[in-house]
């Protein structure tokens, strides 16, 4: 008895495991939920049908189906070729390849499954569509009534031989009559149903095409989402354009602010220089008092040296004063430019910051 089935990469099944119970097992589910794919996969293992790659999933990968029973397991897999593996408890594993379109005899004998054990959705009800003779043959086989089957077969053979003498074959001048005519008519009718086998193959191809179409729809949906994101990004870029246009103006304001800061530092340095000059003048005055007490020559020499130093200081002071005046003019110009740029910035800058969304304090 089958205990469980494992399916991987078979049509719509990525990785599926089914546990079976004793007796009759029925697979139910909504449309396109994979019921038919399960039956087809089992049929592929049991009878190696359908042939080709129709059972494999469209996303690729090795297809696999493992049927576990109480005695062991049968594993069918397909990547480039079909492969069977038979594992019987207590025995060495056997692998089968290059077996054509049939199923290895060891696999068929181990599974022991026929059409009675595996019903599909559109199959006729079990035994209800059979003739009384076919039903009797089925139960005779189950009861192992071989003698009755042998007798029935012999009787049918005798009847066939008797019917062969009834009627006549169709000739150029005369049509067939009796039982022969009925047989010819039946054969003619059977030709009308020859399309059923091809229809089954066509249905399987159409289902594969449907799966591919569904995959294409999914890819189209993903592409539409990407296009919508691109459109939204373009809208965001348009909304940020005013802020981007203000960037050069902001850079100029920041540059002027840096120049103003440097000018203030230079002004502070000039103030310190003036203080040092005043301190030097005080020191000179103190030294003059001391020099008045020295001898006239020493005093004259020192006075000359101090005069030279004072003259150098005067020249340095003149240069420093000129630098201060120039810096003041530059400072006034920088302040005027800053006021003009600041007024333009205040005029163009909104009340709410475009970066953080907070209200700007004026």
Is the residue at 140 inside a domain? yes
For residues 95 and 183, membership in a common domain is answered with no
Token pair listed for 279 = 């301190």
Q: Is 107 helix (H, G, I), strand (E, B) or coil?
A: helix
From CA 194, how far away is CA 200, in angstroms rounded?
11
Domain tally, the chain: 3
What residues make up the domain containing 309?
A: 241-348
For residues 184 and 252, membership in a common domain is answered with no
What's the pLDDT at 168?
62
Is the residue at 236 inside a domain? no
Token pair listed for 7 = 């399916």
For residues 170 and 80, membership in a common domain is answered with no
pLDDT confidence tier of residue 74, bands split at 50, 70 and 90: very high
For residues 6 and 106, membership in a common domain is answered with yes
Token pair listed for 345 = 């910035």
* pLDDT over 90, % of the chain: 14
Token pair listed for 186 = 């039946």
Is the residue at 123 inside a domain? no
For residues 106 and 148, membership in a common domain is answered with no
Answer whether 74's CB lies under 8 Å from 84's CB. Answer: yes
Is the residue at 12 inside a domain? yes
Q: Name which of 99-113, 194-208, 266-280 the model is least confident about.
A: 194-208
For residues 84 and 182, membership in a common domain is answered with no
pLDDT digits (tens, 9 = 90+) for 151-186: 677 777 777 666 555 666 666 666 666 766 777 777
Of 191, 212, 227, the last residue of a domain is 191
- Find the CATH number of the domain harbouring 51: 3.40.50.300
For residues 34 and 90, membership in a common domain is answered with yes
Q: Is 128 helix (H, G, I), strand (E, B) or coil?
A: coil
């Amino acid at each position: 008895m089958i205990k469980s089935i494992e399916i991987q990469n078979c049509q719509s099944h990525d990785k599926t495991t089914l546990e079976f119970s004793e007796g009759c097992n029925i697979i139910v589910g909504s449309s396109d939920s994979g019921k038919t794919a399960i039956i087809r996969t089992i049929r592929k293992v049991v009878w190696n049908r359908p042939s080709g790659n129709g059972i494999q999933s469209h996303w690729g990968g090795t297809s696999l189906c493992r049927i576990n029973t109480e005695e062991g397991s049968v594993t069918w897999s397909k990547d480039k070729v079909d492969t069977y593996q038979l594992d019987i408890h207590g025995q060495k594993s056997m692998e089968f390849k290059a077996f054509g379109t049939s199923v290895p005899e060891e696999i068929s004998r181990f599974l022991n499954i026929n059409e009675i054990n595996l019903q599909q959705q559109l199959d006729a009800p079990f035994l209800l569509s059979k003739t009384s003779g076919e039903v009797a043959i089925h139960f005779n086989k189950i009861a192992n009534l071989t003698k009755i089957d042998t007798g029935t077969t012999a009787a049918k053979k005798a009847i066939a031989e008797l019917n062969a003498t009834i009627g006549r074959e169709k000739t150029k001048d005369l049509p067939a009559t009796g039982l022969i005519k009925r047989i010819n008519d039946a054969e003619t009718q059977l030709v009308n149903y020859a399309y059923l086998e091809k229809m089954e193959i066509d249905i399987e191809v159409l289902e594969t095409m449907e799966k591919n179409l569904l995959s294409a729809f999914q890819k189209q949906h993903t592409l539409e989402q990407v296009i919508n994101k691109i459109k939204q990004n373009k809208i965001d870029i348009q909304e940020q354009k005013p802020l981007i246009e203000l960037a050069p103006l902001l850079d100029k304001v920041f540059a002027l602010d840096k120049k103003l800061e440097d000018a203030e530092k230079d002004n502070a340095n000039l103030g310190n220089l003036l203080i040092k000059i005043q301190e030097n003048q005080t020191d000179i005055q103190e030294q003059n008092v001391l020099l008045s007490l020295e001898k006239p020559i020493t005093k004259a020499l020192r006075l000359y040296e101090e005069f030279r130093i004072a003259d150098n200081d005067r020249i340095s002071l003149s240069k420093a004063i000129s630098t201060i005046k120039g810096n003041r003019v530059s400072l006034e110009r920088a302040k005027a430019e800053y006021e003009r740029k600041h007024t333009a910035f205040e005029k163009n800058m909104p009340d709410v910051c475009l970066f953080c969304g907070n209200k700007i304090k004026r």
